[in-house]
Amino acid sequence: MSIDVLQEKIRKFKNPVMVGLDPYLPILPQHIVQDAFAEHGQSLQAASTAYERFCTELIDALKNIVPAVKLQSACFEALGADGIAVMQRVSKYAKEQGLYVLIDSMRGDVGPVAEIYAQAMFGEVPIGQSLHKLYECDALTVNGYLGSDGIKPFLPYCKREGKNIFMLLKTSNKSSREVQDLLSGDRVVYTAMADLVMRWSSDLYGKNGYSEIGAVVGATYPQTLKLLREKYDRLFFLVPGYGTQGGTAKNVQFAFDRFGHGAIITASRSIICAWQKEGSDGTDYLSYAVDAAEKMKKDIAKHVVIL
């Protein structure tokens, strides 16, 4: 269900882009940081306030251009409890604004611990007779190194509650080859991981034919994207590595099927830090972000037509 929702949002916007919200003080415009310091001193609360303003302003500016956002969990976690409170609120705000929300935490626990985590992220936390919803989260990134025991706890949420998980197959970083490209028989580790995803997907296909369990494949490896697209025609791809990391619109075309479906491209710094590259003082960071998002949409549209 949810993978259909994501695809429909992409079609509506004609834009297969997910903006990564990775707040971090050194990349925030100075006026946001200074306002927060003036109110709360140089505290974790100040930083959290600044992150919240930065993320919600970006959501407001981008919500009519992009269908989805990705919250980088580690950035919020790095402010401790204050940061987590902001991640909870930002996820809810993004959802209220109509966006598909992915929380990028790349977790990989197993057994009861993974069940507890899945429930907290996707469901409601039971306390006595009451239920508490922490996040509004459509999807999570998950590390499958531990095998099925780490994935199964998420599947009921994918099946019944319209949630998605995206398994790490081939990540965009340079050293991803060290483990992910190891050859095993006629497969490499990341295709073995893809085969596992297919096994878990058996009763989890959306109306558009794609599995509710997607796969992370980096824009920096276009040949891999192409091979995986051909072999795994029912895996929806989440594609990081565009922009700052070197992935281009030409690269990412291979992630899509012939209808221009089946993939979404993430971009973080190239959009949310666009003002830094241009030498602005940051007060107009939102218009830089909008311009960068529009440009990315146009660049991809040169290579991918979304029917």
Q: Footprint of a second copy on residues 219-238 (CB under 8 A)? A: none
According to CB under 8 A, which one of 39, 60, 77, 281 is a site residue for a second copy?
77
Exposed, middle or buried by CB within 10 Å (0-12, 13-18, 19+), for 183? exposed
91 lies in the binding site for a second copy (CB under 8 A): no
What ranges in the chain are assigned the alpha helix state H? 2-13, 30-40, 44-62, 73-77, 80-96, 111-122, 155-160, 177-180, 189-200, 222-231, 249-252, 269-272, 274-277, 285-301
Residue 189, both tokens = 């580790």
Looking at the Cβ atoms of 108 and 214, the one nearer to a second copy is 108
Residue 68 is classified by DSSP as E
113 lies in the binding site for a second copy (CB under 8 A): yes
Q: Footprint of a second copy on residues 116-145 (CB under 8 A)? A: 116-117, 119-120, 125-130, 132, 134, 143-145
Looking at the Cβ atoms of 124 and 284, the one nearer to a second copy is 124
177 lies in the binding site for a second copy (CB under 8 A): yes
How many angstroms separate the CA atoms of 158 and 162, rounded?
Answer: 5
According to CB under 8 A, which one of 67, 150, 247, 260 is a site residue for a second copy?
150
Query: 3-class DSSP state for residue 296?
Result: helix
Smallest separation, CB 232 to a second copy (Å): 17
According to CB under 8 A, which one of 29, 67, 108, 247 is a site residue for a second copy?
108
Looking at the Cβ atoms of 49 and 253, the one nearer to a second copy is 49
182 lies in the binding site for a second copy (CB under 8 A): yes
How many angstroms separate the CA atoms of 189 and 210, rounded?
Answer: 22
Looking at the Cβ atoms of 185 and 307, the one nearer to a second copy is 185
Residue 108, both tokens = 């990989």
How many angstroms separate the CA atoms of 285 and 61, rounded?
Answer: 10
According to CB under 8 A, which one of 15, 72, 211, 253 is a site residue for a second copy?
72
User: With contact defined as beta carbons under 8 Å apart, do 71 and 91 qualify?
Assistant: yes
Length of the chain (residues): 307
Q: How many residues bind a second copy (CB under 8 A)?
A: 70
Smallest separation, CB 307 to a second copy (Å): 34
User: With contact defined as beta carbons under 8 Å apart, do 293 and 65 qualify?
Assistant: yes
Q: Footprint of a second copy on residues 195-214 (CB under 8 A)? A: 196
Looking at the Cβ atoms of 14 and 92, the one nearer to a second copy is 92
* Residue span binding a second copy (CB under 8 A) among the ranges 104-112, 202-210, 222-230, 286-294: 104-112
Residue 255, CA distances (Å) to 149, 171, 236 in order:
28, 14, 9
32 lies in the binding site for a second copy (CB under 8 A): no
* Residue span binding a second copy (CB under 8 A) among the ranges 5-13, 167-175, 283-291, 295-303: 167-175
Residue at 37: amino acid letter: F
Exposed, middle or buried by CB within 10 Å (0-12, 13-18, 19+), for 167? buried
The contact set with a second copy (CB under 8 A) reads 22, 24-25, 33, 37, 42-44, 46-47, 72, 74-75, 77-82, 84-85, 88, 105-114, 116-117, 119-120, 125-130, 132, 134, 143-150, 168, 171, 173-180, 182-185, 189, 192-193, 196
